[in-house]
Structure 1
Amino acid sequence: MMYTGILNYMTFEDNYNKSLVNTYSIAGNELVRKIEYALHYGKSMENFYGMSDTLGELKEIVKDVEEVNIISPHGEILYDLNGFVNNKTLPKELLKTAVFHQGMIDENCSYQVFQGKYHIFLKIFGPASNSIATLEMVFPRDSFQSSIDKNKRELVVYLAGVIIIAFFLLYIILLKTSLLTADSKVNRKRILFTLIAVLSSVQLLYCGINYHLFKNAYGQLALQSNSFVENTVAKNLEKVYRMGISLEDVDGVEEYLENIKAGLPLIERIDVIRPGTGAGVAVIDYANSREVALVKASISSTYIDKLMLEILLDMITVLIISLLFMIELTFLTTILMNRRRSPGEHKVVNPPYRHTPELIRGLIFIVNICVFMSITFVPIVMQKLYQPLPGLSREVVLGLPLSAEMFGGILAIFVAGLLIDKKGWRKIFYSGVLFIALGNLFSGLSSSAILFIFSRTIAGLGIGFILMTLRSLAVSLPERNFAIAEFSAGSIAGLNCGAVIGGMLADRIGYQPVFCLSAMTVLFSCAYVHWLMKALEVEYKSADEITGWNKFINFISDKNVQVFLLLIFAPFFIAGAFLDYYFPLFAKGHDLTQGDISRVFLINGLCIIYLSPILTKFATRCLGDKKGIAASLLVCICALAVFTFLGTIPAAIVTVILLGIAESFGVAMQTSYFLNLRSVKDLEVSKAIAYFSVMVNASRMVGPIIFGLTLTLGLRMGVGLIAGVFLILLIIFMFIPKDYLQKSL
C-alpha cells in the first residue's frame, strides 16, 4: 500500500508540475513572441533597450514569478527585471536544462527544481529561426508545492488508517480461524487465502481513496489553469483596445487562441464571446468604459480522464505486483513453518526433503527482482553515455551493453559447469551475487560508454553463475519436472516484479539510484542461502573412463540431440523473439506507450507463473515428454498464426498470451526431454545444464535476427512464413521413424 501511495503521489506530482509549467508558459510565450517580433524588425539581443519594461510586463500578469531573466546559449544572464546584467552566469546545475538537454516538456520548454525554486525555460528564436537565447522564469516553491503537500498529508493519514484496518481484520481472523491442519501443520492454502483476501481488500480501498483524491486535485488544477488562461487572454485583448483597435479589425485572433490551447492540454477550447452570452472573464475597453467581450475557456475532461487512467493503470499494475509478492512470500513463510531441519549441513538432496523446489522458487524470485530492475532501460542509459567506437555504427554501439551482458552469461555457464562439482554450488552462487552487485554498482557510477559496457559484462557473469547453480540444483531433485516448473515460475515472477518496480522507480528517481538499489538488495540472497539451503548439494556423478572431450563429441554427434535442437528447441525459443523483439516495434508503430508494452509483458509473465505448475503436471502425466514438447511448439505456431491472419494490436496481445502459455510448460518439458537423451545422461548434471543454457542463449540470439529479416517481406507475411516453417519442422519431428530417433527412458 505504501508503495502504491508513493508511486501515485510521484505520478501526480510530475503531472501537476508539468501542467503548471504549461500554464505559466502561456504568459511566458506571449513575452517570447514580443521579443522575437522586435528582433525580427532590427533589435539586437545584445543591445535590447527597454528589456526591463518588457520583462516587467510578465511580472504584472504572473504575480507569483520572482525572477525573469534572459539567458545566452552559453549560460550568461543578459537581462533581468532591472535591465542589463554584467558578469553573472546561470548556476552550472541548471545549464543542461537551460539549453534543453534535460527536463524538457516539449522541444521549446523545459523546467528544473533547484535549491527549492522552480525554473522554467523557454526558447527565443532569432530572425534566422535559430535559437539565440532563453527566457527564464523563477517561481518560489509554494507556487507549485502548496497543493501537492496538501495531498501528500492526506495520503499519509489515509494510509495510516488503512493499515490499522488491515491489522484489525487479521487479528479478528486469527482469533476466529484455525490456520493449522488436523496434523498440526500450517495450512498454506488457508493462510494464502486469508492474506490475499485481507490485503487485497485494503489495497483496493486505498487505491479507491487515491483515485478520489487525485481526481479532485486534477479538477482543482484544471480550474486554476482555466482561470489563468482566461485572465491572461483578457489582459492581452485589452491591450489591443488600448491601441484604439477593435477585435474586428485584427487578423489572427483565432490562430492566437489555438496556439495557447495547443500548449495547454488541460484546456479543451478558448472562445471570445459577446457580453451577456455566457460566463467568462470580461474584456474591458477602458477608453470607452465598456465591456466589449468575454473570454471563456473550457476544461478538457478527456485529458483529465487520460491522467486518471495513467494513475489507474499504475494502481492495477502495483496491485498485481503486490499479489505476486504476497503469494511468493506466503509460500516461503509456510514452508519455513512446516520445514523440519535435517541433522548435518552437507547432505545430498533426497526425497524426504520435499520443500526444496519451493525454496529454489523463493530464492530465484528474490534474485530476479534485483537482477531485472534494469532490464527496461539499459539501452537508454547507453544512449546517454554514447561515444563513437571505431568501425561500429551508433546502433551497434547502443546494443553493446546487452551483448556484453549475454557474453558474460555464456562465459559464466562454461566456468560454472567446470567448477560447480569441485567447489560446490554455494561458492559459485556467492560469486555470482558479488559479480551482480559490482556490475550494477559500476553501471550506476559509469561516466563513459566503455565503463558501462564493462560493468554489464560483470553483471552478466554474475547472472550466469546464479542461473547455472539453481538450475543444476533443480534438476538434481527426484521430482525434476516439478522442480523445474517451480524454478521457472519463481524466475518469471521475479522478472516481472523487478522489471515493473525498476521501470517505475527509474521514471521517478532516475536510472543510477535503481542500479545502486539493485546492487544492494541482491546481497540479501546470500543470507537466504546461508540460513535455509546450506544442507543442499547438487547431484554429482563420479568420473568414468570417458573423457569430457569425448562426451562433448558424443553429445554434438548424437542424432537425437541434432533433431531435437533443429526441429523443436531452436524454433520454440526463436518464436519467443516475437515478444522480445517484434512486439515492441509493432506496438510502437501503433502508438502504444512504453507502459502499455510493459503491461503486455506482465500478462505474458502471469501466464507462465501460474499456469506452469498446472500445465507441466498435466503434460507430464497425459502426454509425456515427446508429445509435450511438440504441443508447446504447436501452441507457439498457433500464436504466430493468430497474428498472421489478423495483424492487429488485439491479435498481437493474444499472440503474446499464447506464447506465455506455451512457455509455461514447454521449458520444463524440453529440459526433461533433453536430460533424458542418451548422450546427455552420461554427463554430469551441471555440464548437461550448461549445454542446455548455451543452446537457449544461442537460440535467443538468432531469434531477433530472423524476425528482423522478415520485415522486408511485410509484417504479417514474415510472421506467417516463420509459422509455416515451424509447422513443417514440427511435422517432420513427429513422423521421424523410431529407429532413427530414440530416447532412452
Structure 2
Amino acid sequence: MWGRQTNEQMAGTNQQQMKQTFIVASLMLIIGVLAFTGMMNISSFRHQYVTSLMNSQSVVVGETVRKIEFAVKYGKPLENFHGMTPLLEEIRGQLPGIQQVEIYSSAGEALYALENITLPENMKPRAVFPEKPSQAYVYGLEEGVYHQFFPIFNQDGQPIGSLGLAFSENLVDQRVRPYLYQQGRNLLLLVCLATLALIFLSGKKSPVTAAGHIDRKILLWLMVGVIGSAQIIYGFLNYRMFQEAYLTQTRDNTAAVASIIEKDVKTVLDKGVGYHQFYQMDQYLANIANSLPEVEGIRMIQNDRIVHGMTPEEAGSAWKPGEEATGLALPEGAGEVSGMSLQVTISQEYLRNQLRELLLDTLTVLVTSTFFMVELTFFLMVWLSRKKKPTSVGEKTRQMEEIPVGEEIWQAEEALQGKEHLMAEDQTLDALVVRVLAFIVFTAIFMSSSFIPLLMKSISRPVMGLSENVIYGLPISFNFLLGALGIILAGRYIDKIGWRKTFFVGSLVLGAGTLLSGLTTNPLVFVLVRGITGAGYGFTLMAMRGCVLTLASDKFEGYASLNAGIYSGMNCGVVIGAMLADRIAYRGVFMVTVVLIALAGLYVLKFTQKPSDAEIKTPTVEEKLVKSADKKQIEPLKHFFSDKKVFLFLLGILLPAGICMMFLDYFFPLLTQEMNVPVANVGRAFLVNGVCIVYLGPLINRVLGKRLRVETLVVMGALSTIGAMAVFASVGTLMAAFVAAFLLGIADSFALVAQTNYLLGLESAKILGQGLALGYYSNVKKIGQMLGPMVFGGMITLGNQRGIGFIGAGVLVLTLAFMTTLRRSKAEPEESEIPL
C-alpha cells in the first residue's frame, strides 16, 4: 500500500511539473504567434502608408516636372538647364523630410543635385525609364533610405531623364510608431486574456494525463481554440486601427494638396490677376488631381457655383459636394467679390479599393498565421514529449520493463499499459518531428519564390539572343535542374553517410547558395548560385525522406506528415517573403532565409539526436532502385518506356502538369510587377493554391475517390489545369490570375494522388517495380518544372493572354492524346488503386 501511495505521489508530482511546463511553453507560443501576426499586419500597413506618402509627394514633384518639361518643349536642354537648382530647392522646401533631390539623364547619370549623396548601385537602374513607362513613379528601399524616381518627357512623349527624391526610413518610422505602440498594447492585453483562458480551460480538460503524458488531441484543440480566437480578435482590432489611420492619412494628403494649390493661387493673385482671368486653370487642376489617386476632383467654388473645375464645361455649373471633401477658403482677388473656396473631393472608389486591400492583407495574415500557429503547436508537442520521453533506447526499455520486486499485480499491469501508450505515442511523435522539420526548411526555401523573376529582371542583360522573358526564368529553371541532380546524387550517398549528415551537407549548400543569391548583382552568377541552392534543396529533401524511413514507425503517417509540413512551409514562406520584400528588400529576405536554414540544422541536432542515429543507414528507395537497376533489369525498363500508356501519361499528363506549376513560381510575380500591384499578391496566390491542396484535397479525395475511377480523376485534374489557363487567357486580370491559382490548387489537391495511383496500377510499372516507377515519375515532374519558365517566357512574348492561351491549348491536345489510351476491352483488368 505504501508503494502504491509513493507511485501515485510521484505521478502527481510529474503531472504537476508537466502542467507548469505546458503553461510556460504555451505562454511563449501565444506571444510568438500574436507577435508574428502583429509584425505582418504592421508590415502590410507600413507598405500602404509608404505608397500613400509617395502619392502625396508626387503632387509637389509633378508640378516641378511639368515646369521642366515645358522649358524643354521650347528648346531648353536638360543637360544645361539654367535655374534648375531653385526648382529643386522649391521641392525640398515643400517636403521638409527630403534629404536629396536630383536630376538624372536618360542613361542614369546625375546631372543636378542638392546634396553630395551618391546613389547606390542597386538603385541606378530605377532612375532609367523605358520608352513608354506605365507608372507615374518607381521607388525602392536601400540601406535605410527610400528612393523615388519620376520620369521627365520631351515634346514627343519620350523619357529624357528622371527626377529623384531620397528620404530616410526614419521618416516613415516616426509616422508609423504611434500605431505600433497601440498594437503593442492590444497584444499585451490579448496575451493576458489568452493565458487566463488557457489556464481555465486546461483546468477543466487537462492536456497532461495522470501519468504525465501529453494528450495531443486535447492540446491541439486547446491551442487552436484559444490562440485562434485571440488571432481573430487581434486581426479585427488591427484592421479597425489601420482603417482609421489610413483615412487620416488620406485626409492629410488632400489637405496638403489644397495647401499647395492655395500657395500657387496666392502667387498669381499677388501679380494682380483675378480668378476669372486664370488661364488653363482647368488643366492645372486636372493634372494635380490625376497625380494623386486619393483625389476624385478639385474645384474652385463661389456662391455654390463652380468657377474653375477640371474641365471647361464645369465652369458656371452648380456645385454638388461629394461624400467627403476638404474645403479651404481662398484669398480675395483684386476687385472681385470674396467667398471663393477650394474643394478637394476624396475618391470614394479609390478609398474602397484601398480598404479592401487592407482587409485582404488582414485575412492573408490571419490564414498565414493559422498555418504558423498549427505548426508551432506541433513543435510544442514535440518539445513537451521530448521532455517526458527517455533520452535513449536503453533507458526507455528499462523504464517500461523494470517492475520493482514485491509490488502488487496492478503495478505490472500499469507498467504494461504505459509501455503500450509510449509505443503508440512514439509513432505519432516521430512523424511530428519530421513535419516540423519540413515546415522550417520549406518556409526558408520558399521565402524568395515571390520575387526571383523580379530580381533577375532588375539585373538581367541580353544572353545568347534569348528573349527577356526566358532570361527572367533562367534562375528557376537552373534551380530545378540542379535540384533534380541533387536528389539523384543524395539518393546514391545517403545510405553511406546517413540521413543526418546528408541533411547537414544539403543545409550548408542551401545556405551558401542563398547567401550568395543576396550578395551578387551579376545575372550569370545569380543563375549559377540559384542552381547551387537547388542542389542543396535536393539534398535536404532526400534527407527528410530518409528521416521518415529512419524515425517514423508508421511510414505512411511519416510521409503524410512530411507532405503536410512541406505545403504549410511553402505557404508561410511565400507570404512572409513577399511581405518582407517590401520592408527589408530582396537581400534582407535572403539573409532571413539563411537564419531559418541554420535553425533547421539546430532543430535536427536537438530533436533527432539518438545514440543509434549516426550508425543507422537505412537504404532509401532511390538507392534500392539504383541497385535493382544494376541487376540487369534492362528488359522491364525497356518495356516500361515502350508502353503506350506510360509514354502518353508521362508526356500528356505529368510533363504539362510540371510546366503549368510555373504559372505561380514564374509568371505571377512578373504579372504583379507589370500591373504595378504589391508583391504581397504573389503570397496570396500561393496561399489560395496551398489552402486548396492542404484543406480541400483530403475532402475531395474522400468524396471523389470512392465514386470515380482513378483515370477519370487524372483527366479531371488535367481539365482543371486547362481551365486555369483558359480563365486567365480569356480575362487577363489580376482576379483571373487568382482564379487560375485556385483551379491549379484544386487540380493538385486530388490529381497528385490520382496520377501516382494510375501509374503504379499499370502492368508495366508493376513489372519494373513500383519504387523505380515512382523515381521516373519524380524526374519527369522535375523536368516539367525546369522547362516551365522557358515555355512561359517564350509564350508570353506573344502577349500574356495569348501566350497563356496557347499553353492551355497545348495541354488540351496532350490530354486528348492521353485519353486515347483509356479505351480498354472488357477482359482487360482495371488498374489497381494504391493508397498513398
TM-score by length of 1: 0.82
- Larger mean CA deviation between 148-157 and 631-640 belongs to 631-640
* Residue 510 (structure 1) aligned to one of 579, 585, 589: 585
- Structure 2 distance, partners of 1:472, 1:580, is 26
C-alpha spacing 1:512/1:292, structure 2 compared with 1 (3 Å)? same
Residue 653 of structure 1: how far off its partner (Å): 5.5
- Structure 2 distance, partners of 1:210, 1:89, is 41
SS at match of 1:297: strand
Equivalent residue number for residue 636 of structure 1: 717
Equivalent residue number for residue 549 of structure 1: 630
- Structure 1 distance, partners of 2:186, 2:363, is 19
Equivalent residue number for residue 314 of structure 1: 361
Q: Does the CA contact (< 8 Å) of 2:299 and 2:343 recur in 1? A: yes
- Structure 1 distance, partners of 2:298, 2:788, is 52
C-alpha spacing 1:520/1:249, structure 2 compared with 1 (3 Å)? same
- Larger mean CA deviation between 71-80 and 452-461 belongs to 71-80
Equivalent residue number for residue 818 of structure 2: 729
* Residue 537 (structure 2) aligned to one of 463, 474, 477: 463
The one-letter code of the counterpart of 2:748 is G
**Superposition map of 1:519-530 within 5 A:** 519-530=594-605
Equivalent residue number for residue 485 of structure 1: 560
Residue 337 of structure 1: how far off its partner (Å): 4.6
Residue 263 of structure 1: how far off its partner (Å): 0.6
- Structure 1 distance, partners of 2:698, 2:758, is 15
**Superposition map of 1:237-636 within 5 A:** 237-275=265-303, 280-288=327-335, 290-291=337-338, 293-334=340-381, 337=384, 343=393, 354-355=427-428, 356-390=430-464, 392-472=466-546, 474=548, 480-533=555-608, 534=610, 535=613, 538-539=618-619, 548-551=629-632, 553-559=634-640, 562=643, 565-577=646-658, 579-582=660-663, 588=671, 593=677, 595-596=680-681, 598-611=683-696, 629-636=710-717
SS at match of 1:447: coil
The one-letter code of the counterpart of 2:749 is I
* Residue 127 (structure 2) aligned to one of 89, 100, 115: 100
- Larger mean CA deviation between 197-206 and 240-249 belongs to 240-249
- Larger mean CA deviation between 543-552 and 515-524 belongs to 543-552
- Structure 2 distance, partners of 1:182, 1:247, is 87
Residue 412 of structure 1: how far off its partner (Å): 1.7
Residue 610 of structure 1: how far off its partner (Å): 3.2
- Structure 2 distance, partners of 1:112, 1:462, is 31
Structure 1 unaligned regions, length at least 5:
81-87
Equivalent residue number for residue 746 of structure 2: 658
- Structure 2 distance, partners of 1:452, 1:393, is 18
Cα-to-partner distance string for 1:271-327 (whole Å, 9 max, x where unaligned): 122146678323334533752632110112332332222222222122112211222
The one-letter code of the counterpart of 2:335 is N
SS at match of 1:408: helix
Residue 265 of structure 1: how far off its partner (Å): 1.0
- Structure 2 distance, partners of 1:419, 1:167, is 48
- Structure 1 distance, partners of 2:464, 2:803, is 33
- Structure 2 distance, partners of 1:440, 1:52, is 44
Equivalent residue number for residue 83 of structure 1: none
TM-score by length of 2: 0.74
The one-letter code of the counterpart of 1:154 is Q
Equivalent residue number for residue 403 of structure 2: none
Equivalent residue number for residue 22 of structure 2: none
C-alpha spacing 1:635/1:336, structure 2 compared with 1 (3 Å)? farther
- Structure 2 distance, partners of 1:195, 1:488, is 22
Across the aligned residues of Structure 1 and Structure 2, the Cα RMSD in angstroms comes to: 4.6
C-alpha spacing 1:569/1:6, structure 2 compared with 1 (3 Å)? same
C-alpha spacing 1:538/1:318, structure 2 compared with 1 (3 Å)? farther
SS at match of 2:334: coil
Residue 636 of structure 1: how far off its partner (Å): 0.7
- Structure 2 distance, partners of 1:400, 1:705, is 8
C-alpha spacing 1:739/1:76, structure 2 compared with 1 (3 Å)? closer
C-alpha spacing 1:185/1:353, structure 2 compared with 1 (3 Å)? closer
Cα-to-partner distance string for 1:705-745 (whole Å, 9 max, x where unaligned): 78877989986686367346535634634626877998899
C-alpha spacing 1:63/1:462, structure 2 compared with 1 (3 Å)? closer
Equivalent residue number for residue 63 of structure 2: 30
- Larger mean CA deviation between 228-237 and 125-134 belongs to 125-134
Equivalent residue number for residue 10 of structure 1: 43
Residue 31 of structure 1: how far off its partner (Å): 3.5
- Larger mean CA deviation between 165-174 and 29-38 belongs to 29-38
Q: Does the CA contact (< 8 Å) of 1:100 and 1:109 recur in 2? A: no
SS at match of 1:387: coil
- Structure 1 distance, partners of 2:534, 2:238, is 39
Cα-to-partner distance string for 1:436-459 (whole Å, 9 max, x where unaligned): 111111111123123222211211
C-alpha spacing 1:297/1:735, structure 2 compared with 1 (3 Å)? same
Cα-to-partner distance string for 1:542-567 (whole Å, 9 max, x where unaligned): 99998743455244223499456334
| Identity rate, percent | 26
The one-letter code of the counterpart of 1:693 is S
C-alpha spacing 1:472/1:631, structure 2 compared with 1 (3 Å)? farther
- Larger mean CA deviation between 690-699 and 410-419 belongs to 690-699
Equivalent residue number for residue 192 of structure 2: 164
What is the total number of aligned residue pairs between the two structures? 725
Q: Does the CA contact (< 8 Å) of 1:674 and 1:680 recur in 2? A: no
The one-letter code of the counterpart of 2:52 is S
C-alpha spacing 1:575/1:195, structure 2 compared with 1 (3 Å)? farther
Cα-to-partner distance string for 1:427-475 (whole Å, 9 max, x where unaligned): 2222111211111111111231232222112111111122223335547
Q: Does the CA contact (< 8 Å) of 2:575 and 2:683 recur in 1? A: yes
- Larger mean CA deviation between 632-641 and 36-45 belongs to 36-45
- Larger mean CA deviation between 147-156 and 531-540 belongs to 531-540
The one-letter code of the counterpart of 2:445 is V
Q: Does the CA contact (< 8 Å) of 1:560 and 1:742 recur in 2? A: no
* Residue 218 (structure 1) aligned to one of 246, 256, 276: 246
The one-letter code of the counterpart of 1:210 is N
Residue 262 of structure 1: how far off its partner (Å): 0.9
- Structure 2 distance, partners of 1:150, 1:94, is 34
- Larger mean CA deviation between 472-481 and 215-224 belongs to 472-481
* Residue 695 (structure 1) aligned to one of 772, 780, 786: 780
Equivalent residue number for residue 84 of structure 1: none
Equivalent residue number for residue 417 of structure 2: none
- Structure 1 distance, partners of 2:624, 2:83, is 91
* Residue 719 (structure 1) aligned to one of 804, 808, 825: 808
- Structure 2 distance, partners of 1:113, 1:515, is 15
- Larger mean CA deviation between 644-653 and 657-666 belongs to 644-653
Residue 618 of structure 1: how far off its partner (Å): 8.1
